[in-house]
């Protein structure tokens, strides 16, 4: 084992979970500062299997969604990390996070909603629908809003 590995084992072995988390948070910005988006993608593909080992994704999905939806680029959490990692993707058209959310959100919701109590599910879905209606119609004319609402009503009836 190399000297660096021995030092790392010694240091990490004496740290609490909170200290490890703080250290990771501080190092993320420095670590990814000079990496391209492609470099970050390759690294994530290699790290994901190790990170997910022994993790029950179905149990953590509701909390992950809450964290992802609540953060901003300047904040911590998954949203902040992904925003920092997006690199050059914004120059290519749609920013990475909205594009990812449009693909991931329907799939995540299908998986997580059935595992939430009826009361919490009703509350969550009501808030989400209100947000979708409000934000989905931003910048639309009255005629476009009417058509948008009719489309939503058709979807809810089917």
Whether the CB-CB separation of 66 and 56 falls below 8 Å is answered with no
Residue 55 in domain: no
Residue 67 in domain: no
Phi, psi of 95 (to 5 degrees): -60, 150
Residue 28 in domain: yes
Give residue-wise pLDDT tens across range 46-72: 888 888 788 777 777 766 666 665 544
pTM of the model: 0.42
Helical residues (DSSP H) of the chain, grouped into ranges: 3-13, 17-32, 37-52, 57-70, 77-85, 96-113, 118-136, 142-157
Q: Which of 47, 65, 83 is the endpoint of a domain?
A: 47
Whether the CB-CB separation of 145 and 137 falls below 8 Å is answered with yes
Total structural domains in the chain?
2
* Distance of alpha carbon 104 from alpha carbon 89, whole angstroms: 17
Residue 81 in domain: no
Task: Provide the percentage of residues in the chain whose pLDDT is more than 90.
Answer: 23
Give residue-wise pLDDT tens across range 113-138: 888 899 999 999 999 999 999 999 99
Q: Which of 47, 62, 83 is the endpoint of a domain?
A: 47
Grouping H, G, I as helix, E, B as strand and the rest as coil, residue 50 is helix
* Distance of alpha carbon 87 from alpha carbon 97, whole angstroms: 11
Residue 85 in domain: no
Residue 4 in domain: yes
Distances (CA, A) of 20 to 9, 60, 123, 146, 154: 12, 20, 35, 52, 50
Residue 24 in domain: yes
pLDDT band at residue 38 using 50, 70 and 90 as cut-offs: confident
Residue 72 in domain: no
**Which domain covers residue 11, as residue numbers?**
1-47
Radius of gyration of the chain (CA): 20
């Amino acid at each position: 084992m190399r000297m660096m590995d021995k030092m790392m084992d010694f240091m990490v072995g004496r740290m609490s979970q909170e200290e490890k988390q703080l250290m990771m948070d501080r190092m993320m910005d420095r670590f990814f500062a000079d990496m391209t988006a492609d470099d970050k993608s390759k690294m994530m593909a290699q790290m994901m299997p190790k990170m997910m080992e022994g993790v029950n994704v179905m149990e953590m999905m509701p909390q992950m969604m809450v964290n992802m939806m609540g953060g901003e680029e300047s904040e911590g959490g998954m949203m902040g990390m992904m925003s920092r990692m997006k690199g050059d993707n914004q120059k290519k058209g749609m920013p990475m996070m909205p594009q990812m959310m449009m693909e991931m959100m329907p799939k995540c919701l299908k998986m997580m909603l059935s595992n939430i109590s009826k009361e919490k599910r009703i509350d969550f879905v009501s808030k989400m629908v209100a947000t979708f209606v409000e934000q989905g119609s931003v910048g639309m004319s009255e005629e476009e809003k009417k058509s948008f609402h009719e489309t939503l009503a058709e979807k809810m009836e089917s």
